[in-house]
């Protein structure tokens, strides 16, 4: 894991309205770095110094403590509630950006890091939730690290999951709204997106054999059985 500082684009809803863009970017970087270190079990002051170097670690910890975002208990670091909330949001945006670049734009895991760093800071809360929904509420980034869940994930788990089913399970003639898509190959996601088959789209199953045929608006689209099983819908009237 590389721990380094990168130039970021500022955001309106960052750590605080009184900070300059440069200060905001620096503090967001510090929060993200510390979250990642603590995920790896490096929650001791000495471990952070080993990872970042004495001078950089001291500056990071002092800056975060001055904002009341972390505290030190003995030799262990702990997030304060507000610091944990902010760090979680920053990490969530970054890892969803990685997922979007990897899954939709077909970029490799090693390519997405720097672009995700820039992209994450132009994402509003609404855009973040929309991307998460579009991607089917992924649980990990392309590197296998967990994506902190957001409000859309909690709502999805409580309200939508019990009501969704694969498109292949719909009776012929039944309509539904696509909630998420989990194709095995990214090229399939590109193909479906170009046809307007994305989360939030209303579809109606027209036939099952020899292939599945759905109606999207005035357009009919044929799907193979494997793809129909990976499109999940919430049935409607």
Check whether residue 138 and residue 170 sit in a common domain.
no
Give yes or no: residues 228 and 118 share one domain.
no
Instruction: Report if residue 155 sits inside a domain.
Output: no
Domain presence at residue 213 = yes
Instruction: Over range 77-98, report the average pLDDT.
Output: 95
Same domain membership, residue 116 and residue 32 = yes
Confidence at 114, pLDDT banded by 50, 70, 90: confident
Average pLDDT of the chain to the nearest whole number: 83
100 found inside a domain: yes
pLDDT of amino acid 83: 95
Is 157 inside a domain boundary?
no
176: left (phi over 0), alpha (psi -120 to 50) or beta: beta
Q: What letter would DSSP give residue 105? A: S
Give 154's pLDDT tier (boundaries 50, 70, 90): confident
Residues 141 and 206 occupy one common structural domain: no
174 and 228: one domain?
A: yes
Residues 121 and 60 in one domain: yes
- Say if residue 124 is in the same domain as residue 195: no
Distance of CA 199 to the CA centre of its chain: 15
Indicate whether 197 and 123 sit together in one domain: no
Q: What is the mean pLDDT of residues 29-45?
A: 92
**In the predicted structure, residue 19 carries a pLDDT above the cut 70:** no
Q: Would you state the pLDDT for residue 120? A: 79
Stronger pLDDT, 182 or 195, i.e. the higher one: 195
Give the domain-ending residue among 149, 171, 202.
149
Q: What's the confidence (pLDDT) of residue 3?
A: 44
Q: Exposed, middle or buried: residue 179 (CB in 10 Å: 0-12, 13-18, 19+)? A: buried
Q: What percent of the chain has pLDDT over 90?
A: 41
Is residue 25 domain-shared with residue 113, that is, in the same domain? yes
Does 60 share its domain with 32? Answer: yes
Of 66-80, 91-105, 106-120, the one with minimum mean pLDDT is 106-120
Kindly report which listed range (7-16, 168-177, 184-193, 227-236) carries the lowest average pLDDT score. Answer: 7-16
Give me the domain span that covers residue 111.
1-149
Q: Which of 149, 178, 210 is the last residue of a domain?
A: 149
Of 9-23, 81-95, 153-167, 206-220, where does mean pLDDT reach its minimum? 9-23
Reference 34, options 63, 74, 73; nearest CA is: 63
CATH number of residue 39's parent domain: 1.10.10.10
Residue 125 within any structural domain of the chain = yes
Q: For residue 101, give every residue at least 6 positions away whose Cβ sits within 8 Å of its Cβ, in sequence order, or none.
A: 107, 111, 112, 115, 116, 119
Tell me whether strands 164-166 and 175-181 are parallel, antiparallel or unpaired. unpaired
Instruction: Check residues 109 and 58 and name the one with the higher pLDDT.
Output: 58
Domain boundary among 106, 128, 149: 149
Of 170, 149, 183, 173, nearest to 234 by C-alpha is 170
Q: Place 78 in a pLDDT band, splitting at 50, 70 and 90.
A: very high
Q: How many domains is the chain built from?
A: 2
pTM for the structure as a whole: 0.65
Q: How confident is the model at residue 185 (pLDDT cuts 50, 70, 90)?
A: low
Mean pLDDT of 164-174: 89
Say yes or no: 123 and 168 in one domain: no
Flag whether pLDDT at 16 surpasses 70. no
């Amino acid at each position: 894991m590389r721990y380094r500082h990168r130039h970021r684009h500022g955001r309106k809803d960052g750590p605080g309205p009184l900070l300059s863009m440069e200060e905001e970017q620096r503090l967001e970087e510090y929060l993200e770095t510390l979250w990642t270190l603590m995920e790896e079990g490096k929650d001791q002051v000495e471990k952070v110094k080993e990872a970042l170097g004495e001078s950089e670690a001291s500056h990071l910890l002092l800056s975060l403590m001055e904002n009341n975002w972390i505290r030190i208990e003995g030799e262990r670091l702990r997030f304060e509630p507000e610091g944990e909330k902010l760090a979680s949001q920053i990490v969530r945006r970054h890892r969803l950006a990685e997922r979007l670049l990897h899954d939709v734009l077909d970029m490799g895991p090693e390519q997405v890091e720097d672009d995700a760093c820039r992209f994450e800071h132009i994402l509003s809360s609404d855009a973040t939730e929309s991307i998460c929904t579009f991607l089917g509420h992924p649980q990990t980034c392309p590197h296998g690290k967990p994506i902190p869940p957001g409000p859309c994930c909690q709502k999805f788990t409580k309200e939508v999951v019990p009501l969704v089913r694969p498109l292949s399970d719909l009776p012929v003639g039944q309509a539904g709204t696509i909630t998420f898509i989990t194709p095995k190959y990214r090229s399939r996601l590109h193909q479906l997106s170009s046809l307007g088959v994305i989360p939030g789209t209303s579809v109606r199953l027209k036939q099952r054999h020899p292939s599945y045929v759905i109606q999207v608006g005035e357009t009919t689209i044929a799907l193979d059985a494997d793809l129909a099983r990976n499109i999940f819908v919430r049935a409607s009237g």
